[in-house]
Structure 1
């Protein structure tokens, strides 16, 4: 680089010793030089810098060259020493100080030529090192690559790169003399492309001769033909090397360049090294293919590792075990790619360290498999064979388990060879037969035949030829006899019978069990015919004695009243006349009964449960009891005993349940029959009641109603005689009239007058009146109190008597005395007769009220009330003056509004009334005294008056006594009325009574008619006006005041009052 053209030309002429391949390019500025370096850095071998530059940046220029990684020498032609020093410090290779001396340019040319030589030598050295590295790289790849093609492709590509060749081709020689392109770089080649075997081309001649060749220029070299199909067109130079020795020639590698003389002898040597590596790779591939074919046919998993534990080989079995393909695992460190394989690491590393083969067994969790591992080490790696021994180990474990089972099994097991000699026996065989194993092995079956006899009577009990199942009686070493079952089957190995295997099973208990079970079955069938509990229990005891032999049996039944188990019969028999002792309510037998489980219970010898037995079987019989049985002394019952007793107890329980169910069924049938009879009787009673109801509706008078009821009753099938009486007439002098008696002849009707007023009938009549409940004599013939009347009962055909009160509003209207032919006639009547009495009672009461309205027959009664329960009595005592009740208005809640007059001071009455009434109001005062309105709580007096249909005429109270004047209907007994008052006001007494009779319409009849005409509000309004002095003059109350009484407005009150007055006036003047 110089801005002086003459300097560049002079330098070019001074470099006359350079070959034609070296040229000088002249650039004038650092920028142009940098551009040249970027575009053709590989072709530049030396830089000559004329310094200083125009910008004085020669040092920067030199540093930039090396900073860009361009490794070429820089020779500086400096104008002075200072400039040269700066350039050298920046990194220049050499320098020359220019002066006017003509030899300076020659000296500069020398320095440049020397730098070029050193650069060429350094580059050649670097190329050789790179070539050796590539040889090593391809060699390593050849050892680790899975397939040959990838190795050949890699070799062709790397050779082209390192030689800067235009193309590299690897040919494989085929058996027919043709060539196949195995790999290529620099041109698109088909691996199936073949070359003709014609001589003359460089590659073919190299393959045939086995010698490497170098061509500097194909145009000038006449040794070879340049075949167009050998590579891309236009190569100028080339070289080739044979792959494989003379004995086995595999192919050839050919390299071409676009420049003449591009390759040197060193490059040929490099290519030969590459050919040797590729030849080794092809040979290894062929050997590996043959070895892989062998290893692939193995069931074992085979793996190969190098010294760094990289995987070099896996067969298909190993691929399956790893769960990875060969491509995925080859070349990787096994511990990294398959971490779970670390379970083998310790053994593998020990084998490599000692360089000794290793054999071990290891479980592989991933495959749940056991492997027998054989590892064979070498200096370069390790070959490992994995054999799946899981099934083998399982067979070994299974065989060991079978051995232990045979040793532990209770049955005697033996094996015979094909000649009938014992080949093997287990310990149970020795115990059963008493023969030692050493004596038995090798002996014939005759050794056992002399101690065995067939149960079917055959001559040969235990023969080598016997097969199937045979029962034998075998004598044991202790001179006993056991029943055994010999089950023998052929032993077949590989389709050939080599002997037999047999099992001798002790079936003594089973044989005894079957025999006893048959006996128990027979006894059970006999018990099925038993019809009562005692027969079943007796059969159970007999069955225990027969099945268990010398057993002693007791039966205990559950006593619900005492909550304990009570012995049945005498000890040792199960049944008998032994007195019943104390019951069991604790202990083992009781626990077995409570749990419902059959148990073996230990008893004290003198425990008193079963005499002489210390261990018994307690078998519950459900809710019925428990069966206790056992052998005398300390002999313990065995499992067979327990099971047989369990079966027996279950059968007994079932039979007892059946007997109880049948008894319950019979009882239910009896109850149903009785119920049917009762329903039939009730149906008749219902029919009678319906007829009575219809007659009551039609009866115009009370007497006719009573007669109709009696007639219908006596017409019923169950009733022989019926008579009736008015409740008010029943006293010690009462005599039923003949027209009141129905169903009896004249003699007995006359006799009833005597019977009705004497015991025991008269107390029944009184009790019916007092209690208002039906009174019954269930059976006259069985009742001692009626002993004197048995003759009448037998003569007139009655057994039971009932007194039915006709009740209405807790008052007895009449009595009906019914004589029935059946003792059960009045049992379970479901209350129909009582309902009949109420129905008749209300009908009679209604008839009585109608009679009263028509005849106005009433009784005037004056009574002195006792005690101070009455509100008016307490008020008179508190104010100390007389108090009179003018009238009351009842309210729906039971309270009443009372209008009271008194000459006491109004303030005193109001003050005293606050403690008695819920509300007190002074209405007015005049010459006759003061009028007060009191709201009183529920009073029993008014309820009694209403219930007796009595009319209150006066109620006057003084500080010392209270007098009630009322009218009572004649049909109401005055005595009952006074008694009702006395029950609420103790000390009440009758002062006077008088019966009034007026054929004209009475005020009561008129009042009743008006009460029907008025509404409730109208009646209350006009009655309140009357009682409060509204109609007196001057008025003692006003409409406003009365409206306050009912909590309504004055106009509303006046509306109701005017309506009531209008109806009253209309009734009077119509």
Structure 2
């Protein structure tokens, strides 16, 4: 391989998520837009009116979706204030006001006419974020093009000043004449990013429908190859080696592909999100992968994309394209695609682990020197049992039953420790209580969750702890145990056993339900349950549950309603089938 380089994509830890502010006095519409955009790529906030928008606006905002017709302070006034404050953000007017020639001199970047669709909103935000990196003159050109498109949606004769449209076209011609090369380059860039974003959405839809890892990998390869020249997936084996399993667009046997170039590009330690581009693959590699078709290409570039879930790398997606150098925007979206595929694989593997006839249980012991929860129980001399967890990025929120001291004592001790971001009482009883503890560091739970193991049980007694993890029988148990022991000093493996599962009617019910629920819906249901959301009076509010999961309350309610519907549906279907038997 030759000319290897980073594709310019920063990991989530290196770069903050773009911030999108939705401004509309119609709360339902603002919340709906937030839900549409809440896919993990952006931080989405809402402001229910012009006054709230002006209070929130600052340099941290990247894109504003702005309603024009609002009481007290209109969208036009908010737009004017954004430019007066010199806030460098892109603005899309989103309004039921039909565009007229009064918009020609308004400094927005895009104009959407209500009612808007999910695709309109998401694609507009995606494009505006890309445009943010353009030169000022080129940004102006695309903004005026958006204005032209908005006016062209009207009958010219109905416009207040029809000649204004011709004047606008003259301005566009003048700017293009002066900056033609830069504009053409940016148009090509937008086209590439749009193509990759479309690919990402297509793959996401396919992942939802897939039932096996093979299906996911085959769908990804075929979709990517349709958009580029070819693609293959190299799967990471239990021993940590790479093995090509799926190809598309290549006239060669997967087993015959030399995978050494992946290590050359990514290094021996492959990191999640570390996308690498190879501007021109070597002639020998091109001949090997394209076989008899190699002479058809003058130059072939490649992109190596880790397929990962949190800290677990399942494999590498390699994308080939003739004569194209993968830029930062394309690499960023492919990194998202790698994460999406990793999430899909993890979901399927989790279901396989949950529904398998047998699993391997790894048991670990640890003390207060290696775990924040153990340290709390050591300070108070109490017992603690884990009820459930919710993980968002590097933060784990756990719900636990504590026996011994009052729940307020546990919260007080946790709040005094830097390892906890927050602590609160969920339910306070005489003999035992339930608490919510949000961990930021130094916990065996964070380490275990990072490597995709199923946390079966955690018991703590006066500072000493026992953790039971379930992993698939074909997983690399030694690597998991070694990694966990190395990452959390003082942790040791005390047992490894194969656990056979007995199929019961209740297990069958759960299997049916798990097949219907997405991973997110399962997480929302479990977190709501263990946090006391379904109790009366509630142990947690919807806002608190949403905060634990790192999602907005509207998104929580959407997932919760869907999950509850599937739960009830499965229950009555099972009941009907039992009655028929």
TM score, norm. by length of structure 2: 0.46
**Comparing both chains, which one has the higher relative contact order based on Cα–Cα distances under 8 Å and sequence gaps of 6 or more?**
2
Structure with greater Cα Rg: 1
TM score, norm. by length of structure 1: 0.27
